Amino acid sequence: MPTVKDVAKLAGVSVGTVSRVLSENKAVKQPLKERVLNAVEKLGYKPNLAARALRTNRIDVIGLVVPDITNPFFAQLAKCIETEAAKRGHSVMLANSHDDAATERKQISALLDRSPRGMVVVAAADTAELGYHTDVPVVSLDRRFENFPLVSTDHAHGSALIADHLYQLGHRDIAYIAGPQNTEVGRSRKQGFISRIQDLHSENDPVTLRTYDGLFDYKSGEDIGRKVLTAWDDWRPTAIAAASDQLAIGVLRVARDLKLDIPADLSITGFDDIALASLIVPRLTTIRQPTERLAETALAYIFSEDASTTVPMKEHPLKGEIVIRGSTTAPEK
C-alpha cells in the first residue's frame, strides 16, 4: 500500500504538501496540486484511515445503537441513517441493545471507544442512567437516551390524527392498546390519543374509551386483542387503535382467529407504517413516520456546531401523516 511518502516522492514534493492537497485543498498552488493528484492517481493511493484517526482523533464513522435491527421500524431507521451518513462520507457502526439497559451500556461504550464522529442511539425501553462524559456528540432517535437531545416524531400529534379519523368515521366505542408506559414514546402516543378523544367527547355525543397497556410487539397485540375481543358480553369496541403496527397486526391476527371481518366488524389502526402495514390483508390504516427526515435531522445535529458547543438542541418533533387504508371503515349500525 502506498503512503503519503510514496506520493510525495513521485510528485517531488513534501509529505505536508500531499496532505494539504488531500484535505484543505486551498493554499496549494495549481502546478503542485496537479502533480500530487497525478501521483495519487498513478499509485492508487488511499489514505490510511487509522493514521488519520490517530492524528485527528476523529474517524468518519457514526455509531448506531438500536434495540433490535430485526424490528422493521428500526431497520428502516438504520437504513436511512446509513444513507445520510454515506452522503457525508461516513460509515455506520451498528449494535443491538436487545432492549436491555446493561447490553446497551456495553454496546455504547464499545462504539464510543472507537471515537466515532457521532453517535445515534435509539434507547432501550428500560434504559438506565449511566452518566457519560464524552466529547462525541450523541443524539437520541425515536426514544430518548439519557438526557441527550431527541429527534422524534410528534407522537401525540399522530395519535390525535388517528383519534380524529376514527371519530369522523363514527366510532364511539374505542379501545386503545398502548405501548410500554416506561417509554416516552408509549406515553406520548397514549396521552395524545386520550386527550384528543376527551376533546371530541361531549354529553350529547359521548365517546367510550378504554385503554390497555402492553408492549410494542405482535405478541402483546395478540394477547391484549384476545382479552378485549372475548369480553364482548361486557362492552364492545367498534374500533381498536394500537400504539404500533406490530401491535395492530397482532390484534388483526386474533380478530381473524375469532372469525371477525375486518374492517366491517372492527376497525383497526396502527402506528409507524412499517413496510408490512401495506402488505397484510386488509392493509393497515396507520401513521407514517417521517423516517428519512428523522435520520436527516439526527445527523444534521451531529454535524452541527451545537453538538460540540453543548448548546441544547431545539427539539421540534417532526409531524407524521395519516395513511388511510382498508383496515378502517364506519362502524355498522
Partner DNA sequence: CTGAAAGCGCTTACAG
Number of residues interacting with a copy of itself: please give it, by CB under 8 A. 45
Chain CA centroid to CA 123, Å: 10
Measure the CA–CA gap between 95 and 156, rounded to whole angstroms. 29
Q: How many CB atoms lie within 10 A of CB 89?
A: 8
Burial of 113 (0-12, 13-18, 19+ CB in 10 A): exposed
Measure the CA–CA gap between 250 and 244, rounded to whole angstroms. 10
Whether 106 and 92 have beta carbons less than 8 Å apart is answered as no
Q: Is 96 in the site for a copy of itself (CB under 8 A)?
A: yes
Please state the closest distance from residue 108 (CB atom) to DNA, in A: 19
Question: For the window 202-231, what string marks contact with a copy of itself as x by the rule CB under 8 A?
Answer: ----------------x-------------
From candidates 39, 40, 45, 167, binder to DNA by CB under 7 A: 45
Nearest partner of 227 among 246, 251, 208, judged by Cα: 251
At residue 157, what is the residue type? H
Site for a copy of itself in 228-287 (CB under 8 A): 249-250, 252-253, 256-257, 275-276, 279-281
From candidates 78, 162, 185, 307, binder to a copy of itself by CB under 8 A: 78
Please state the closest distance from residue 80 (CB atom) to a copy of itself, in A: 10
Q: Which is nearer to DNA, 13 or 123 (CB)?
A: 13
From candidates 34, 38, 41, 46, binder to a copy of itself by CB under 8 A: 46
Q: 287 in the Ramachandran plot: left (φ > 0), alpha (ψ -120 to 50) or beta?
A: beta
Q: Is 110 in the site for DNA (CB under 7 A)?
A: no
Stretch that binds DNA, among 3-11, 110-118, 189-197, 218-226 (CB under 7 A): 3-11
Question: Could you give the 3-state DSSP secondary structure of residue 330?
Answer: coil
Grid cell for residue 233: 358480553
Locate cell 442511539: which residue? 121
Q: Which is nearer to a copy of itself, 44 or 312 (CB)?
A: 44
Please state the closest distance from residue 92 (CB atom) to DNA, in A: 21
Q: At what angle do helices 184-200 and 155-169 cross, to 10 degrees?
A: 40
Q: Which is nearer to a copy of itself, 228 or 249 (CB)?
A: 249
Q: Which is nearer to a copy of itself, 95 or 243 (CB)?
A: 95
Residue 37's binding partner out of a copy of itself, DNA, none, with CB under 5 to 8 Å set by partner kind: none
Residue 316's binding partner out of a copy of itself, DNA, none, with CB under 5 to 8 Å set by partner kind: none
Grid cell for residue 313: 438542541
Question: Could you give the 3-state DSSP secondary structure of residue 153?
Answer: strand
Whether 240 and 174 have beta carbons less than 8 Å apart is answered as yes
Prior bond of 206 cis (ω within 30°): no
From candidates 10, 20, 165, 273, binder to DNA by CB under 7 A: 20
Chain CA centroid to CA 281, Å: 25
Measure the CA–CA gap between 113 and 301, rounded to whole angstroms. 21
Q: Is 278 in the site for DNA (CB under 7 A)?
A: no
Q: Is 175 in the site for DNA (CB under 7 A)?
A: no
Measure the CA–CA gap between 155 and 327, rounded to whole angstroms. 21
Query: Which residues sit at the interface with a copy of itself, rule CB under 8 A?
Result: 46, 48-51, 53-54, 57, 59, 61, 68-70, 72, 75-76, 78-79, 82-83, 86, 91-96, 107, 110-111, 113-115, 218, 249-250, 252-253, 256-257, 275-276, 279-281
Query: Which residues sit at the interface with DNA, rule CB under 7 A?
Result: 1, 3-5, 12-20, 22-23, 27-29, 31-33, 45-48, 51-52, 54-57
